[in-house]
Amino acid sequence: MKRIYLIAGVMVAIAIALLVNSAKDMSTYGSFADANTSSKKIKIAGKLAKNKPMVYDPVKDPNHFSFFIKDSEGEEHKVVLLKAKPQDFEMSEQIVVTGRMKDGVFVATDLLMKCPSKYKDEEIAIKSKQNG
């Protein structure tokens, strides 16, 4: 057995071990029910509850944006994002928040949102010229 194969073999073993180990860094999208039972950070995917209040008052606190999300199980819950309110937030189709439950509020440190695609926009954007 060549040394180099040995080393390569060891590295492959380490790679597998690391990838297995990195499963710890991964999770499924959770629900608010999961967040209630876990103290770890989780990701929740859901839709913005548009009929619930959305509050961002930078005069009071520029790092406090609160809104409600309906998760995959249909539960609506308050979320506080510790960041500025993202552009086009109201237009989002799906929202993914990363955070944990604190005193009954889901405190998020990160937010990803999916907006309607450009291709869909194209259909709407064909409008007649005003002074054509």
Partner 1 sequence: MEKIQYIGETLLPGQIGQLGVLLGFVGALLSMVAYWFATQRQETAEYESWRKIGRIAFLTHGLGIFTVIGSLLYAMTNQLYEYQYVQGHVSEELPMKFIFSALWEGQEGSFLLWMFWHIVLGFILLVKGKSWETSTLTVLAAIQAVLGSMILGVYFGFGDEASKIGSNPMLLLRQTIDAPIFAQADYVKLIKGNGLSPALQNYWMTIHPPTLFLGFASTSIPFAYAIAGLWTKRHTEWLKPALPWALFCGSILGTGILMGSAWAYEALNFGGYWAWDPVENTSLVPWLIIIAGVHTNLISKATGHSVRSSYIFYLLSFLLVVYSTFLTRSGVLGETSVHAFTGSGLGNQLIFFIAAFTLPSLIMMIWRWRQIPSPKTEEATTSKEFWMFIGTLILLFSAVLITGSTSLPVFNKIVQYFNPAYQGRVITEPVIHFNKYQLWIGVFIGYFSGFAQYLRFREHNWSKNAQRFAIHVGVALAIAGVLTYLSSLLIQLPTWQYVLLTFSGYFTIVSNLDYLINYLKGNLKAAGSVFAHLGFGLMLVGIMASGVNRKIISSNAFLMDGLIEGGDEEMSKKNISLFKNVPTLMQDYMVTYVKDTLVDFTRTYTVNYQRKNKAGKVIEDFNLYPTILYEKTFTKIATSNPDTRHYWTKDVFTHISALPEVEQNFELKKQREEELKYKPLELAQGRTVLLLDTLEVENRDTVFTRTFQISLESISRNPAHKDYKPEPGDLAFSTKLKIRRSDDDSVYYANPAILLRGQLIYTYPDQIDDLSSKFKISQEAIEKVFAFDNQLKYEDLNLRQGDVGNWQDLKIKFSGFNKNPEHPDYTRKEGDLAVGAMLDISAPDGKVYHAEPIFLIRDGQPLNVKVEVGELGLHLRFPLLDPGKETIQLMLAKSSAPSSIPIEVATDALPSNYIVLEAMEFPGINVFWLGTLLMMFGLGFSIWNRMSTRRTAEVAAA
Binding site for partner 1 (CB under 8 A): 2-4, 7-8, 11, 14-15, 18-19, 22, 25-29, 41-43, 45, 56, 58-59, 62-63, 82-85, 87-88, 94, 96, 98-99, 107, 109-110, 112-115, 117-119, 121-123, 125-129, 132
Residue 64 is classified by DSSP as -
CA–CA gap between residue 75 and residue 109 (Å, rounded): 20
User: 31, 42 in Cβ contact below 8 A?
Assistant: no
User: Least distance (Å) from partner 1 to the CB of residue 87?
Assistant: 6
Nearest distance in Å: CB 91, partner 1: 9
Q: Which is nearer to partner 1, 77 or 85 (CB)?
A: 85
d(CA 121, CA 61): 34
- What is the C-alpha separation between 108 and 100, in angstroms, rounded? 7
Closest approach, Cβ 72 to partner 1, in A, equals 9
C-beta closer to partner 1: residue 49 or 96: 96
Q: What whole-number distance in Å separates Cα of residue 67 and Cα of residue 65? A: 7
Residue 83: DSSP 8-state: S
Beta carbon of residue 96, minimum distance to partner 1 (angstroms, whole number)? 6
